[in-house]
């Protein structure tokens, strides 16, 4: 008799989940991020910041690769790895209120003004070969992932991420 009761409860629970009577916790979207460069002996490129007119990212000596480049709105987990052999990198998530417009920049520091740009979270100062994780809730829209170590953003170390509703 007990065996039949357990089977009935398990069957009923499964049926409710399939029919939508009970909803499991929505899984987070996962974005894998690689922070890369061509090595410290390679001269750092300049003039490759996001939304720079006629930007040619093929000349970049460093960059950010994401997979996938598009996720659903809600909780997003970023698994970030610094694939450099000799440079410290970081990843900052910035919401693009006006996609295609340049980010506020502090020329004297050769960095993006994170406060004015709208920093949504970051994995800071990853030494070569080190990984980090960031969990953040994102609304639908366009985002930019950047490295804001001095000169890295202008050297092409950024990529877009689309968050769908």
pTM: 0.82
Task: Please give the Cα distance from 140 to 132 (Å, whole number).
Answer: 24
Mean pLDDT lowest for which of 4-13, 33-42, 71-80, 125-134?
4-13
Residue 19's pLDDT band (cuts 50, 70, 90): very low
Task: Please name the residue that has the structure tokens 């065996």.
Answer: 3
Task: Measure the CA angle with vertex 109, ends 44 and 52; round to 5°.
Answer: 60
User: Which domains, from first to last, does the chain contain?
Assistant: 26-164 (2.60.40.420)
pLDDT of residue 25: 55
Residue 16's pLDDT band (cuts 50, 70, 90): very low
Instruction: Tell me the average pLDDT of the chain.
Output: 88
pLDDT of residue 165: 96
Residue 21's pLDDT band (cuts 50, 70, 90): very low
Residue 28's pLDDT band (cuts 50, 70, 90): confident
Residues 161-165: what's their mean pLDDT?
97
Task: Please name the residue that has the structure tokens 């406060």.
Answer: 115
């Amino acid at each position: 008799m007990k065996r039949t009761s357990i089977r009935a409860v398990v069957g009923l629970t499964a049926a409710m989940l399939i029919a939508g009577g009970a909803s499991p916790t929505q899984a987070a979207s996962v974005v894998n991020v690689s922070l890369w460069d061509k090595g410290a002996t390679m001269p750092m490129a300049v003039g490759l910041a996001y939304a720079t007119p006629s930007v040619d990212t093929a000349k970049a000596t460093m960059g950010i690769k994401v997979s996938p480049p598009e996720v659903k709105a809600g909780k997003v987990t970023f698994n970030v790895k610094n694939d450099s052999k000799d440079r410290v990198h970081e990843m900052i998530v910035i919401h693009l209120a006006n996609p295609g417009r340049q980010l506020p920049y502090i020329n004297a520091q050769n960095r993006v003004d994170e406060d004015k740009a709208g920093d949504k979270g970051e994995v800071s100062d990853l030494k070569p070969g080190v990984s980090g994780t960031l969990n953040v809730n994102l609304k639908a829209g366009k985002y930019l992932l950047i490295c804001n170590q001095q000169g890295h953003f202008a050297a092409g170390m950024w990529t877009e991420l689309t968050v769908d509703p």
